[in-house]
Amino acid sequence: MTNILCIGAGYVGGPTMAVIASHCPQHRVVVVDINEARINAWQSDQLPIYEPGLGEVVRSALGRNLFFSTDVNRNIAEADIIFVSVNTPTKSFGQGAGRAADLQYWEKTARQIVENSTSSKVVVEKSTLPVRTAEAMEQILNYNSAGLHFDIVSNPEFLAEGTAIQDMQHPDRVLIGGKDSPTGQQAVQSIVDIYAHWVPRERIITTNLWSSELSKLAANAFLAQRVSSINAISALCEKTGADVNEVSHAIGLDNRIGRHFLKASVGFGGSCFRKDILNLVYLCEYYGLSEVANYWEQVIKMNEHQQMRFVSNMVSSMFNTVAGKRIALFGAAFKANTSDTRESPALAVCRSLLEERANIVLTDPHALDNARTDLGGAAKLVCFEPDPYAAAKDAHAIAILTDWAQYVDLDYEAIYESMVKPAFIFDGRNILDHKKLHSIGFNVYAIGKPPLTHNHVS
Ligand code: NAD
Ligand code: UGA
């Protein structure tokens, strides 16, 4: 039996360890966190995150070989392999503020590992980290008087929220980076052996530490870049009469381009794209590569522009003012099938419309609690309404901001009847049947398509 510990019971730590425990009944897996409410929630019927299929996986192993605890120190002492999956937000102070990764949680964790260890261990970077973090970690960990040896392995996580369980059960690849020393390679093998319980061996790839750390940042940068690229094209479509869905279909059929991640939208959100690209930009600047830094920074600028453009479009189409108008925002989560609202474009749109003094009613099937927290002081200006029909009643406009499937099948005729006329719908996810909405009577504005409006002037 191997004692596996994961420090950090968040969106990554909880689900990844549940999947490992479910596939490796011979190993004992413990997940620890300083957040007691989170640890309690993992052991209850109300898991701390909404993720399809997660409940079943947790239940399959909880209490058998999967345990959650707040006792970080005791569990460090007992562990053979420690995954570290604590948060690595963008630094908000001092050198590199607004760009570099804030590694204080990581460093604290590394020091805590040294202080509480009585045996040598493998320490796995699960969090997304700047390239060469492992070097600093190795120094902190191996500078100990007890003669203990720590091997650092990089095993970045590629799961996407909303499909986390599916992504981990059938990963495109598992990436494991390690040092080219005998103990470094043994450490890599110990992590390969865990994943080999359910991942085909050819999908487990091993690299050096720095390639593994950089591949994680590069993968997120490439994905976000595709979204920004299609969103840039969507702006041109709106000016020229082209339809971005048709363009993305036409270019995506080229095998070299591929069809994934070409869906134009109100912009990308989520806790990682922005943070990881900023981290990449900072690294480039640190190494004096200012042109490379500027290139990647443009992906974020384009995303901010797309969100701002969406709000400007709303205001200008609604006769240049939304002040005092009730506007229903459909969706708070940064994408469908998650309760996560971190960096959600829905909240950015919400804040901008509040600045325009609109009366905002926000609806979402799973993310209203997180939205209330993330909006902070602005939350008191927002009406939170779980029922989309009630949200739309007496509204001048609806904006679709999350691609929840349930928004496609609503009774838009009934919704139209309950709204102030002329009624507007802004589809920030291009998921609705725009022609049908137009025939019902809506003025319809989608992303990257000519608007479908009614001329009410006789
Ligand atoms: P999260 O904020 O949901 O979870 C991190 C957890 O670590 C929190 O519960 C926090 O209380 C805990 N923590 C912080 N310091 C601690 C300490 N000293 N001891 C014990 N617990 C501590 O973050 P997340 O979304 O799970 O992301 C974790 C890492 O994984 C980040 O580096 C992120 O970039 C990366 N990542 C995230 C995703 C994703 O979909 N969210 C996907 C891939 C990679
Ligand atoms: C992303 C990556 O897909 C994961 O591989 C990675 O592990 C993770 O970041 C991370 O490091 O945190 P995630 O942010 O959960 O996963 O979700 P995505 O599916 O990538 O969507 C990100 C954002 O882009 C969402 O707001 C989504 O709506 C938007 N998006 C995505 C588009 O607007 N268009 C698309 O075609 C695809």
> What Cα–Cα distance (Å) separates residue 123 from each residue in 118, 177, 406?
14, 12, 42
CA of 334 to the centre of ligand 2 (A): 9
Check residue 12 and give its pLDDT: 97
Q: Do β-strands 359-363 and 382-384 pair in parallel, antiparallel, or remain unpaired?
A: parallel
**pLDDT tens digits along 190-209:** 999 999 999 999 999 999 99
Which atom number of ligand 2 is nearest to the Cα of residue 336?
Answer: 28
Check residue 455 and give its pLDDT: 79
**pLDDT tens digits along 164-188:** 999 999 999 999 999 999 999 999 9
Does residue 33 line the site of ligand 1, with CB under 6 A?
A: yes
Which atom number of ligand 1 is nearest to the Cα of residue 38?
Answer: 9
pLDDT band of residue 145 (cuts 50, 70, 90) is: confident
CA 111 from chain centre, in angstroms, equals 28
CA of 62 to the centre of ligand 2 (A): 29
**pLDDT tens digits along 368-412:** 999 999 999 999 999 999 999 999 999 999 999 999 999 999 999
- Pocket perturbation via mutation, ligand 1, pick of 17, 40, 74, 85 by most ligand atoms within 8 A of CB: 85
pLDDT above 70 (res 17): yes
Check residue 146 and give its pLDDT: 84
- The yes-or-no answer on residue 272 being catalytic is yes
- Which one of the ligands is nearest to 220 CA? 2
- Residue whose CA is at the smallest distance from ligand 1 atom 37: 12
- Pocket perturbation via mutation, ligand 1, pick of 7, 126, 158, 272 by most ligand atoms within 8 A of CB: 272
Round to whole Å and give the CA distance between 10 and 8: 6
Burial status of residue 306 (CB atoms within 10 A of its CB: 0-12, 13-18, 19 or more): buried
Mean pLDDT check: name the lowest of 100-109, 288-297, 317-326. 100-109
Check residue 184 and give its pLDDT: 96
Q: At what angle do helices 133-142 and 209-240 cross, to 10 degrees?
A: 150
